[in-house]
Amino acid sequence: MTDQKIDPTGGSPVHIPTRGTLPARIGGSVKSLPEFGPSVMDASVYRDQVRYELERERVLGRHWMIGGRTEQVAKPGDWISYEGHDETIVMVRQSDGTMAGFHNVCSHRGPSFVTEKSGCGARRFTCPYHGWVYDTRGRLVGVPEREDFDPVVLASAHSPAVAVEEWGGWVWFNLAGPERAVPLADSIGPEITADLGAYRMQDMVVHEVVEWDVPVNYKAIIDGFNEVYHVTELHHVPAEFTKAARCSSFHVVGDNFMCFVPRPTHLDKLPDEDFDHHRNAICHYVVFPNTVFNCNPEHIQVFQPIPLGVDRTRFLCWEIVYPGDQSDPAYADYWSRTMTHWNELKRVVGEDISIYTQMARSKRSSAFSRQILSEREFKIALYHQNMDRKIRD
Ligand code: FES
Ligand SMILES: [Fe+2]
């Protein structure tokens, strides 16, 4: 695992990850595609309300998803909220430095008590309806006119806990709760922990979060990040990028995926057994069910489609960068090229959004009954197979 600070810019704090002793993931004799083959899948998965409810319970309710950035909750009492798939939660930094999370639902008669996206230095959360008070772990600590209630019922009235952990500078939550959630590290898995960990996202900060309201199922958005087939037609990439994209390698690690797209300028190095994917490829990681990391060596985009309904999604695109001193010429140079690239990527993501709008027109069409997938689109098939297995568990 490599996490040394390389200093190609003469004093800049910008971290450039290298593969180091990590396994080769592309190039040389590394197999680029599992033997999955082409396939056909049913298109009803994007519009089936019954299935969506099962996903809400058994996938979105049991898997780790990102709730925000660690730097948003730096001090005790700092908190962030999350809303999606008809759930609302609060995640709060505790005085011992750990994080706690709980449902943003008053146990009296049910409204949410937090309305903002974030806040600082909270010691209590008070429901605006009748004034029930919760501490930073969601425990009920205040009830006006308490003597009018059944004390036995009040004793069990707290806001149910949500599991919260941190990794890579991200705050992750699992609605299954601290007792039932598998450890986050097990969900991400050792391969992605090491490979994606090399970017040291915990040293990065958010530059911008772009948000779109997209009228399609969240899985259709994940699908778009599970193949590179569309880049030629939709994104009009140059022919050399199309050629490079066809040399991509795909890896399945448990429920998750890694994908490495060699840079066109480094295709000649691909036969090397020690090809450094961190330096010479776009590295792409999908953590089931809806977190996608797109790593350029110097800045990272995180794509987060948050389901709002069976065919509506809040799509967030996070841009994280290494912080630095703009008056440092080396850092200013980093900043300038990173922002140029980020602005270009925003345009590219806008093209992705445009196709979701096209998909929204036909999402209920009787003619849309199946999808025909190439062998290089196998991650889409596998993702939906995983989803299928989990909603039947
Ligand atoms: S509903 Fe929250 S205090 Fe009554
Ligand atoms: Fe795209």
Residue 16: predicted pLDDT: 85
In this structure, what token pair is assigned to residue 100? Answer: 């706690």
Asked whether residue 282 falls in the same domain as residue 324, the answer is yes
Phi, psi of 200 (to 5 degrees): 50, 55
Nearest Cα neighbor of 171 from 241, 66, 92 is 66
Q: Is 254 left (phi over 0), alpha (psi -120 to 50) or beta?
A: left
Asked whether residue 105 falls in the same domain as residue 218, the answer is no
Asked whether residue 308 falls in the same domain as residue 379, the answer is yes
Using one digit for the tens of pLDDT, what is the confidence trace for 327-354?
Answer: 999 999 999 999 999 999 999 999 999 9
> Which ligand minimizes its atom distance to the CA of 303?
2
Residue 212 lies in a domain: yes
Using one digit for the tens of pLDDT, what is the confidence trace for 136-149?
Answer: 999 999 999 999 99
Which CATH number do you get for residue 101?
2.102.10.10
Q: What's the domain range around 140?
A: 65-174
Residue 12: predicted pLDDT: 55
Which of these three, 115, 150, 174, is where a domain ends? 174
Residue 21 lies in a domain: no
Which of these three, 150, 174, 198, is where a domain ends? 174
Residue 183 lies in a domain: no
Written as tens digits, the pLDDT of the chain (393 aa) is 333 333 444 445 788 899 999 999 999 999 999 999 999 999 999 999 999 999 999 999 999 999 999 999 999 999 999 999 999 999 999 999 999 999 999 999 999 999 999 999 999 999 999 999 999 999 999 999 999 999 999 999 999 999 999 999 999 999 999 999 999 999 999 999 999 999 999 999 999 999 999 999 999 999 999 999 999 999 999 999 999 999 999 999 999 999 999 999 989 999 999 999 999 999 999 999 999 999 998 999 999 999 999 999 999 999 999 999 999 999 999 999 999 999 999 999 999 999 999 999 999 999 999 999 999 999 999 999 999 999 997
Which of these three, 117, 141, 174, is where a domain ends? 174
Asked whether residue 95 falls in the same domain as residue 224, the answer is no
Residue with CA nearest ligand 1 atom 4: 130
Pocket lining for ligand 1, CB < 6 angstroms:
106, 108-109, 111, 127, 129-132
Asked whether residue 164 falls in the same domain as residue 203, the answer is no
Asked whether residue 200 falls in the same domain as residue 126, the answer is no
Using one digit for the tens of pLDDT, what is the confidence trace for 186-226?
Answer: 999 999 999 999 999 999 999 999 999 999 999 999 999 99
Asked whether residue 94 falls in the same domain as residue 203, the answer is no
Q: What's the domain count of the chain?
A: 2
E strands within 61-109? 65-69, 79-84, 87-93, 99-103
Asked whether residue 217 falls in the same domain as residue 331, the answer is yes
Residue 10: predicted pLDDT: 44
pTM of the model: 0.95
Residue 10 lies in a domain: no
Residue 179 lies in a domain: no
- Length of the chain in terms of residues written: 393
Mutation test of ligand 1: which of 88, 103, 107, 108 has the most ligand atoms closer than 8 Å to its C-beta? Answer: 108
Residue 116 lies in a domain: yes
Asked whether residue 356 falls in the same domain as residue 249, the answer is yes
Using one digit for the tens of pLDDT, what is the confidence trace for 297-306?
Answer: 899 999 999 9
Residue 120 lies in a domain: yes
Going from the Cα of 79 to the center of ligand 1, the distance in angstroms, rounded, reads 21
Which CATH number do you get for residue 202?
3.90.380.10
Mutation test of ligand 1: which of 129, 133, 141 has the most ligand atoms closer than 8 Å to its C-beta? Answer: 129
Residue 225: predicted pLDDT: 97
Asked whether residue 135 falls in the same domain as residue 233, the answer is no
Using one digit for the tens of pLDDT, what is the confidence trace for 283-299?
Answer: 999 999 999 999 998 99
Asked whether residue 354 falls in the same domain as residue 248, the answer is yes
Asked whether residue 170 falls in the same domain as residue 235, the answer is no
Residue 107 alpha carbon, nearest atom of ligand 1: 2
Q: Is the dihedral of CA 224, 229, 233, 236 positive or negative?
A: positive
Nearest Cα neighbor of 295 from 271, 259, 270 is 259
Residue 54 lies in a domain: no
